[in-house]
Amino acid sequence: MSAQPGPFGIYIHVPFCATRCGYCDFNTYTPAELGGANPAGWLAAVRLELALAAAQVGPRLVDTVFVGGGTPTMLGGDGLAAVLDAVRDHFALAADAEVTTEANPESSSPALFARLRAAGYTRISLGMQSAAPHVLAVLDRVHSAGRAPAAALEARAEGFDHVNLDLIYGTPGETDDDLRRSAEVAVSAGVDHVSAYALVVEDGTALARRVRRGEVPAPDNDVLAERYELLDAQLSAAGLRWYEVSNWSRPGGECRHNMGYWDGGEWWGAGPGAHGFFGSTRWWNIKHPNAYAQALAEGKLPIADSEDLDETARHTEDVMLRLRLRSGLPMSVLSADERRRAEVAVGDGLVIRADDRLVLTDSGRLLADAVVRTLLD
């Protein structure tokens, strides 16, 4: 592995959840699925991985830290403080480092947010999904409809300037008014960032089984497009501007850690199932916490597999990710053939040229993947 210039981030994966949401296919485990693994053993293993990571990376300044899951707030304030201490033990954090943790509304409180602020966290990302109780029920979310915005207000009251609420749109049974109300509630909580994702029915999930049995309908692509436009209009009117296809923020509220992903930056992913990218190598860790910890106990990096990205693969990812940003894709990264294909997309009204960059139009955002295929094919 050899470093590249630019920002460097660390992602820490917390694999614990009290219950499993019906739509979720993340690498998470409920207590019955852990086979004896526990937060203390997980943290000890993460410390070992960070020590090995530091030896690989060298004296690299860390610009962003993101603790995700799973449900990081199941660790409690002291547990999450210990996670950040583990990072500091092996890496130097930049003076202005962005330090984020995901938080589930039902395991959050003012005392938790106060402890996280004191520990050095700067950003909170809360899973809201919807303000409609019947939508939360379909998603198997266990918090009440009002708990997420209340938690966001608590985080802000404890000194967090950067608070994000996640929304999901297109859930079976959701109406336009349900989504309008969800956006209204998110904005009224005073957050400076909203992420919104179309519901995807992932294979192997409880929701996929319900769709297959005919208990609920699959999301409709036309409805998803209409809901995206509805949400974009409402958030934009409230002063949150899109800066990535699925993310809106007030000025200065952009998630720097995620921007590192989209801009082709490097990061170390620590924890069971975490992915990382450094130099030209992408890797992903062993998934189960017990097997992950066993590898580290043997002094080995817990890598399940890896791949070296050649120039073609890096170019494909550069186009795919940077085109999703409001700042757009520099024309300079495109080949002569790709520039000619870009003019076709301009003619179709899917992108515009702005300061020698390709920027998705409103219509283009709905067809971002198709635009990428047009450029690369």
Contacts of 262 (CB under 8 A, 6+ apart): 244, 321, 322, 324, 325
Q: Write out the residue limits of the CATH 1.10.10 domain(s) in the chain.
A: 312-376
Q: Write out the residue limits of the CATH 3.20.20.70 domain(s) in the chain.
A: 8-262
- For residues 23 and 205, the answer to whether their CB atoms sit within 8 Å is yes
- Residue 69's pLDDT is 93
Mean of pLDDT values over 27-56: 91
Closest alpha carbon to 163 in 113, 118, 199: 113
Residue range 289-323, pLDDT digits in tens: 999 999 999 999 999 999 999 999 999 999 999 99
- Residue 3's pLDDT is 59
**Stretch among 63-67, 107-111, 218-222, 343-347 having the lowest mean pLDDT:** 218-222
What's the whole-number average pLDDT of the chain? 95
CATH 3.40.50.410 fits 8-262, yes or no: no
* Three-class secondary structure of residue 30 per DSSP: coil
pLDDT higher than 80, residue 36: no
pTM, whole model, 2 decimals?
0.95
Neighbours of 284 (CB within 10 A): 17
Q: What is the CATH number of domain 312-376?
A: 1.10.10
Mean of pLDDT values over 30-55: 92
- Residue 281's pLDDT is 96
